[in-house]
Structure 1
């Protein structure tokens, strides 16, 4: 037993719920079991997007973020439901309570996945026995399937849990990395997106093995410190501990400025929010961080100060996103009086690679349309020049409209 729990190492589990939203709906209504099921936004509209789907639906080729019309074309018998986020949050809370009954060393990563450090749990059995117990207990008590990865670190545990779904348990040791991981394309590695994979491919790094053997100087040149980090992961190296307190951290990155003169000009205040958003975005990027909560500070000429914030479904780091969120908050809470100081802050900041994109229907739909939109913009700019399309605000109306509030047209 003790041989399975190394004295100088860790035993990490990564628990990943299978097709979580769809599984919760099937647990709530057993009549849905065995049917091709999808949870989607704008169910009544053609432009709805698949948020998640059951494995029965996946057999027909239905995938997450697929347009609803396309999914129904592939699977005419597809059962489509609107999401019930309160139901999903309740299920998630129950899952993590169950995990904490095994060890306090539990780190939630998102609503449906988390890490456990069971290095001190030898009295409960072997790592695979503990994983089997967890899997069976979640299935028996909540009727929800999960896959579990067992490994000496978080990266390998996460990778292992993805190898067999649904209801899989996979062990991935560091010595298995060359044989199991290195043959995969580099874009298949956890933590590497399409853009990073393209950068790697451009310099001849096509497999995870290529990444593991890439020169350190090249990695730093391509991605800075993150390049070194990814190379280490490709070699099976990851020293991050399981941190139960990570979800309670409320780190923030913000910028504020006192205006040259008090003003209630919509144009000027919007421009200031834009500059502040850009600074916040640059600081987030420099530290490879993303925020989950946006905040705005408004100080009026009489020094009254209002600070408002709200959680955002999807992690953000781009200046355009921050600016839009800041404008939304500012618009809601500004009373139209002269402003002396403005501030923009990103709260609940975490490392970019740890960020999880919550399955928010509307944001999925926005993301789904971004790529064709950008393609059209590039085509227009190629044909007519870059000046044909400009980012920024629409002109302020001058026909009797005061310059002290944001119009609905602007928000639209």
Structure 2
């Protein structure tokens, strides 16, 4: 049976959330991000007209569009609205995958026996806008890749259906940058040999592409040909991530304790960014030598930045550790997680901080999580090993 896969994408989600609260923001260029030294988290189509785009430094964005209104953003409110959208979709769709804070995949295969799949999807998108006030675009096709590309071509406030027989005619004239897995590096590599449109990529021998870019070459060739058997995975939210460290010998060495905590927080923050999570609640646990266990927690703005989490964890530890007894175990847990495509807390951090985290994450991805990090964290682990 031919699959019926829908990709739904909330248009300029952060901007749309802000406009729900303030009608005066409609029709003017909006930038959601942080401070003069921050970066753009999202921007309206009015701002995009001037060349503004996500991850651009705010200063550069304002040079391109001086009249733009910059707003700090509220991840907690965005998360609540995202959950509202998910609830509307889950109430009606048989299989739902939440791909990010503003994207969903639906598998509605077989529903066209009773309803027209396109008409059903159209009615669902109208229900979402009616219940939440948020604009949404969608595309219906035979797999996730074509549906996602279709939504991108339909936006803003668009809807598109790409049947099996229209997949290649739809994909062929598009830029290879429209394929989800093609980043800047791959685009530049392929452009140098004249491959800029999907039809050129699709007509290449798969083996040649594999030799050029490695194991991903096969997947890229399949996507260019509109082939994607990836299932829509039922959506489940992860509740928390945590780590604990039990000392070889009970300790009262504060410098050592702080160093170990620093290393633990850094690894958890990297895990958040790798899996595209943000956390809003931090919990610290200590277990004394007599096995008494105490915990303390605090709420923070959604983030996945090491320095923000580390500051919070250290403050909790200072409040919690008041007996001056030897400690047997220390633990850190990050909970109240929300999905998002953000790498770090771009509402608070400067572009220099963004660049630093991105560079460190690239090194960790390539060489391993223990190959780079803060000196304090490494000192703590080495001292514990000794």
- Shared fold, TM over 0.5: yes
Give yes or no for contact 1:107–1:114 (8 Å, CA) kept in 2: yes
* Residues 299 and 216 (structure 1), Cα distance of their counterparts in 2 relative to 1, 3 Å cut: farther
Matched, 1:151 2:141: yes
Distance change >3 Å, CA 94–CA 152, structure 1 → 2: same
Structure 2 distance, partners of 1:235, 1:122, is: 25
* Residues 201/269 of structure 1: CA separation in 2 closer, same or farther (3 Å cut): farther
1:16 is aligned, of 9, 33, 48, to 9
1:248 match: 237
Hey, what's the Cα distance between the residues in 2 that align with 1:300 and 1:149? 56
- Structure 1 partner of 2:161: 171
Q: Which residue of 2 aligns with 1:118?
A: 108
Indicate the structure whose relative CO is greater, using CA pairs within 8 Å and at least 6 residues apart: 2
Please, which of 179, 187, 207 is the counterpart of residue 215 of structure 1? 207
Alignment of 1:319-334 (within 5 A): 321=306, 325=309, 328-329=312-313, 331-333=315-317, 334=320
From the superposition, tell whether residues 134 and 80 of structure 1 become closer, same or farther in structure 2 (CA, over 3 Å): same
1:199 CA displacement: 7.6
What residue is the counterpart of 1:260 in the other structure? 248
In the TM superposition, residue 302 of structure 1 has moved relative to its aligned partner by 1.9
Match status 1:341 vs 2:335: no
CA contact (8 A) 2:17 2:78 kept: yes
**1:26 equivalenced with 2:10 (yes/no):** no
In structure 2, runs of 5+ residues without a counterpart are 361-372, 380-386
Alignment of 1:1-12 (within 5 A): 8-12=1-5
Q: Which residue, out of 87, 90, 110, partners 1:97?
A: 87
Give the CA deviation at 1:15.
Answer: 1.0
Q: In structure 1, how many angstroms separate the alpha carbons of the residues matched to 2:239 and 2:359?
A: 39
CA contact (8 A) 1:220 1:227 kept: yes
- Alpha-carbon spacing, 1:24–1:298, altered in 2? closer, same or farther (3 Å): same
Structure 1 residues 85, 364: CA separation in 2 closer, same or farther (over 3 Å shift)? Answer: closer
Aligned to 1:369: 352
Gaps of 5+ in 1: 1-7, 378-389, 397-412
Q: Distance in 2 between matches of 1:138 and 1:200?
A: 39
- Is contact 2:201-2:221 (8 Å) kept? no
Task: Say if 1:37 and 1:308 are closer, same or farther in 2 by CA, change over 3 A.
Answer: same
- Structure 2 distance, partners of 1:259, 1:202, is 54
1:357 aligns with 2:357: no
The 1-side partners of 2:173 and 2:263 are apart by 45
- Taking structure 1 as reference, are residues 68 and 278 closer, same or farther at Cα in structure 2, changes over 3 Å only? closer
> In 1, are the aligned partners of 2:284 and 2:316 still within 8 Å (CA)?
no
1:65 Cα deviation from its structure 2 partner: 3.3
Q: Distance in 1 between matches of 2:301 and 2:208?
A: 37
CA deviation profile, 1:201-226 (whole Å, cap 9, x unmatched): 89998765648744399479945xx6
SS of equivalent to 2:247:
strand
Q: Do the aligned residues in 2 keep the contact of 1:292 with 1:314 (CA within 8 Å)?
A: yes
Contact 1:92 1:112 in 2 (8 A): yes
Secondary structure in 2 aligned to 1:109? strand
For normalisation by structure 1, the TM-score amounts to 0.66
Distance across 2 between alignment mates of 1:141 and 1:349: 24
The answer to whether the 8 A contact 1:40-1:81 is kept is yes
Change (3 A) 1:18 1:255: closer
Alpha-carbon distance, 1:332 to partner:
1.6
CA distance in structure 2 between the aligned counterparts of 1:200 and 1:273, rounded to whole angstroms: 44
Map residues 280-299 of structure 1 onto 2, 5 A cutoff.
289=275, 292=278, 298-299=286-287
CA contact (8 A) 2:210 2:218 kept: no
- The residue aligned with 2:67 is 77
Q: How many residues align?
A: 357
